[in-house]
Amino acid sequence: MKKFLLLLVSMALIMAILGCSGKKNNASGSGGPDSIRMMITQSGGGISDWANNSIFQAIEKATNTKIEMEFVEYEGFPELLTTAAASGTFPDMASFIFHGSKTFLQTLVENDIIAAYEGDVAAACPEIIKRYAENPSLTELKINGKIYFQPLYWGNKNDPNIGLIHIRKDIIDKYGLKIPDTWDEYLEYLRTCVKKEGIYGVTFNGQAAGDGLQQALNVYLGSYSIPYVGWYKDDKGNYQYWLTAEHSSDAIVAFRRLFAEGLVDPNVMTYNEEMLKNSYISGRNGSMIYNGGGHIGRTQNDFALVNPGYKEYVTQALDCGGGSRGYTQEPMFGQLNAIGGTPYNNPVAAARIVNFLQSAEGEQLTAIGIEGEDWRRENGNIVCLEAKYQHGFPREAGVNGAHPLSAGIVSWQSQAWQDFNLLYGKDEAYNNWYKEMRDNQCRYQVPAYGIMLTTPEWSDFQAVGNDLLQRAIATAWHANSDDEARRIWTNFVKEWVNAGGLKASATVEKILKQMYG
């Protein structure tokens, strides 16, 4: 709360400082190369000399822009940007802004700190206009009907990505089990892990921050066509916030039983994403609830380094007895890029960078490099050259990785290029396995609405609502009985409503009705 108040106080100083600025916005893009300063929350991927990096130079040449890179820590990034705005040093491009920081984003817009993609800025970046037009759900990111943010994407549709069931296929084969297709079959697998294999059952992100706890519920809620986040459309065509659904308590009870039977890693409530994956990769757990996409292949590659006998497998969404099934469908992006809109920024030049990096040419450049230097074609196939790895492209855990400039700036690298890099050099069996896993990930989906949307009322309520939610989930999971768990959840929903949740939700539901009908 103190940090948030400091942000607001700092923002109050910004307009006065901007009003005193005598610098002109260099937006013409004519003549010699423009210049921009880019602030990014990453380490630079081990590249020490960016000025002489061939991929970096190729981007500067393609956009006629000199780029100054500034790498900063993710922790405290909003405060850092606020300080920069207040001191007249806001970057021309700021990347990896948390898309859930709605109040902060709104404040940047209201104080003209960031630029909208309109006029000359929109003309410099047709790719972003196209992206929003192709995916209507990105409309939820708009503020006052305008585009301000480039989503760091890996695709431009909605797919399940978080809260998927990962298991060990080698354990399935060892004990002659079926690949779990129902919740009961999954429980039988976990019991086998604990009682016969002598390892922990399932692990997941148990830290009560953000939506870590509810992500795990994704594997059960979908059986009732309920997403783990956002709003869903009920049988009457009304939008309803997920936790108010009648059967949300069934998921809570199901997980309480997992804990009571000892099928959950006892350390799970201390695990973040990195810790849970490390526990699974090391063989301490027989299952994890985690992300999909390229994470699936990278998990198998990690297994191959730890124990070649370990075999990764992602199940399709389970039938848990609710009459349906599905993993929650979400937009294929995480975090945001924004371009500076102050009088001293160069938003048109920054927009050209954004446009190039998400164009087909830019995606290819940051995925595999420069033809003839980093790769060549042989019999119609791309063959990567050893020089590629001297230009910043990583080669780790069996992954023919992408350049640091492909991730965390305007994208996370498109899924198509992720798949290429992941499957490069792999045999047919690996290719077929990966395709099967991706099919399992996306076979059954539960739509979710309003994930990126907010209103002043919902923003004001979110901190209170999320605190109530995380405490209720953790408490109910460790209840002494199913009845006690249901009682805890029912009381929580009442407390959530009394705290203003239903009233705040109604303001979002009204907009969803206007957007989606």
Buried b (16+ CB within 10 A) or exposed e, 455-494: beebbebbeebbebbbebbebbbebeebeebbebbeebbe
- The residue that leads in pLDDT, 455 or 486, is 486
Q: What is the pTM of this model?
A: 0.89
* pLDDT at residue 225 tops 80: yes
For the domain covering 162-290+454-516, report its CATH number: 3.40.190.10
**32 falls in which pLDDT band (50, 70, 90)?**
low
Q: Which of 33-42, 273-282, 311-320 has the lowest mean pLDDT?
A: 33-42
Q: pLDDT digits over 109-168, tens only? A: 999 999 999 999 999 999 999 999 999 889 999 998 999 999 988 888 888 999 999 999
List, in sequence order, every residue forming a beta bridge with 241; answer none if it has no partner: 231
The CATH number of domain 2-157+333-365, selected from 2.40.50.140, 1.20.1560.10, 3.40.50.740, 3.40.190.10: 3.40.190.10
Q: pLDDT digits over 197-217, tens only? A: 999 999 999 885 567 789 999
* pLDDT at residue 192 tops 90: yes
Q: pLDDT digits over 399-430, tens only? A: 567 888 877 788 888 889 989 988 998 999 99
Which amino acid makes up residue 443? R
Closest Cα to residue 150, out of 347, 7, 401?
347
* pLDDT at residue 1 tops 50: no
**Two tokens, residue 487:** 């009682």
Predicted local distance difference test score (pLDDT) of residue 190 = 98
Query: What phi and psi, each to the nearest 5 degrees, are found at residue 391?
Result: -110, 20
Looking at every residue in the chain, the average pLDDT score rounds to: 89
Q: pLDDT digits over 17-28, tens only? A: 444 444 444 444
Predicted local distance difference test score (pLDDT) of residue 241 = 97
**Kind and range of the H or E run holding 260:** helix 248-260
Do 2-157+333-365 and 162-290+454-516 have matching folds? yes
User: Percent of the chain beyond pLDDT 70?
Assistant: 91
Each domain of the chain, given as residue ranges in start order, spans: 2-157+333-365, 162-290+454-516
